[in-house]
Structure 1
Amino acid sequence: MRELVFALEYEPGRNRVADALAAHPGARVRSLSLHATDDHLWRVDHATGTPAALAAVEVAFTDGDYYADCLATEDCGATQTTRVLDRTDDTLVLYTDWEPTPVCASVPHLAHEHLGDGVLFETRHEGRHYTWRLIHSGEGDVGAFFDALRDAVGDVAQTELLRTANASGAPGESTTDDGVGLSAEQEAALTAAVEHGYYESPRAVDAGELAAHLDVPRSTLTYRLRRAEERLAEAYVSRDRSADASPAVY
Structure 2
Amino acid sequence: MRELIFELNYQSGWNPVADTLVEYSDATIRSLSCHVTSDNLWRVDHILGSPDALNAVETAYKTSDYFPDCLVTEDCEATSETQVLDRTEESLVIYCVWERSDICTSVPHLALEHFGEGLLFETRQEENRHVWRIILPGNEPIGSFADALRAEIDDIGGMELLRLTDHKPGAGGSATQASDDLSTEQRQALHAAVAHGYYETPRQIELTDLANELSIPQSTLSYRLQRAEAHLATNFVAADSSLDSLSTNQ
Query: Taking structure 1 as the reference length, what is the TM-score of the superposition?
Result: 0.68
Tell whether the 8 Å contact from 1:17 to 1:68 is kept in structure 2 after alignment: no
* Structure 2 Cα separation of the partners of residues 102 and 148 of structure 1: 17
> CA 1:31 to 1:12, structure 2 compared with 1: closer, same or farther past 3 Å?
same
Identity of aligned residues (%): 50
1:100 corresponds to 2:121: no
- 2:249 corresponds to: 228
The answer to whether the 8 Å contact 1:41/1:99 transfers is yes
Deviations 1:102-142 (A, max 9, x none): 21110000001001110100000000000000000234331
**Structure 1 counterpart of 2:83:** 83
SS of alignment partner, residue 113 of structure 1? helix
1-structure distance, mates of 2:164, 2:33: 22
* Alpha-carbon separation, structure 1, partners of 2:243 and 2:59: 29
Q: Does 1:115 align with 2:110?
A: no
- Give deviations 1:63-90, integer Å, cap 9, x for gaps: 2313031000100000010010000100
Q: CA deviation at 1:169?
A: 2.9
Specify every segment of 5 or more residues in structure 1 that has no aligned partner in the other structure, as ranges: 174-181, 184-223, 230-250
Name which of structure 1's ranges 89-98 and 132-141 shifts more when overlaid on structure 2: 132-141
Q: Give the aligned CA root-mean-square deviation in angstroms.
A: 1.7
* Equivalent-residue separation in structure 1 for 2:46 and 2:70 (angstroms): 19
CA distance in 1, matches of 2:84, 2:162: 32
SS across alignment from 2:52:
helix
- When Rg is computed on C-alpha atoms for both structures, the one with the higher figure is 2
Aligned mates of 1:172, 1:48 — CA distance in 2: 15
What is the distance in 2 between the residues matched to 1:164 and 1:141? 10
Q: Does 1:169 align with 2:240?
A: yes
Offset of residue 172 of structure 1? 5.1
Q: Paired residue for 2:27? A: 27
Q: Quick one: distance in 2 between partners of 1:79 and 1:12? A: 24
1:156 aligns with 2:227: no
Distance 2:124 2:243 in 1: 11
The match for 2:2 is 2
Task: Give the TM-score normalised by structure 2.
Answer: 0.68
Contact persistence 2:15–2:66 (CA under 8 A): no
Q: CA deviation at 1:97?
A: 0.8
Verify the 8 A CA contact 1:54 1:91 in the aligned structure 2.
yes
Distance 1:9 1:66 in 2: 17
